[in-house]
Amino acid sequence: MVAEETVRRVTRRRVRTRANLLDAAFAVFAAKGFGRVSIEEVCEAAGYSRGAFYSNFDSLDELFFALYRQRADLIAEQVSGALALDGPDLDVPAAVDRVTEVLLLDRDWLLVKTDFLVHAARDPDVAQTLLEHRARLRQAIADRLARARGFAKPPAVLDDAEGAAHAVVAAYDGVTVQLLLDKDVDGARIWLKQLLTALLTDGSGTPQRDPHQ
Tens digit of pLDDT for each residue in 168-191? 888 888 999 999 999 999 999 999
Average pLDDT, the chain: 80
Using CB atoms within 10 Å of the CB of residue 74, give its burial: 0 to 12 exposed, 13 to 18 middle, 19+ buried.
middle
Q: CA–CA separation, 45 vs 28, rounded Å?
A: 8
Q: CA–CA separation, 56 vs 67, rounded Å?
A: 13
Residues 6+ away with beta carbon under 8 Å from 7:
none
Neighbouring C-beta atoms of residue 199, cutoff 10 Å: 21
62 or 97, greater pLDDT: 62
Q: pLDDT value at position 3?
A: 45
Model confidence, pTM: 0.72
The H-or-E segment that residue 176 falls in is helix 161-182
Using CB atoms within 10 Å of the CB of residue 34, give its burial: 0 to 12 exposed, 13 to 18 middle, 19+ buried.
buried
For 46, phi and psi rounded to 5 degrees?
Answer: -85, -20
Q: CA–CA separation, 209 vs 213, rounded Å?
A: 8
- pLDDT tens digits, 24-54: 999 999 999 988 999 999 999 999 999 999 9
Q: Please say whether the beta carbons of 201 and 173 come within 8 A.
A: no
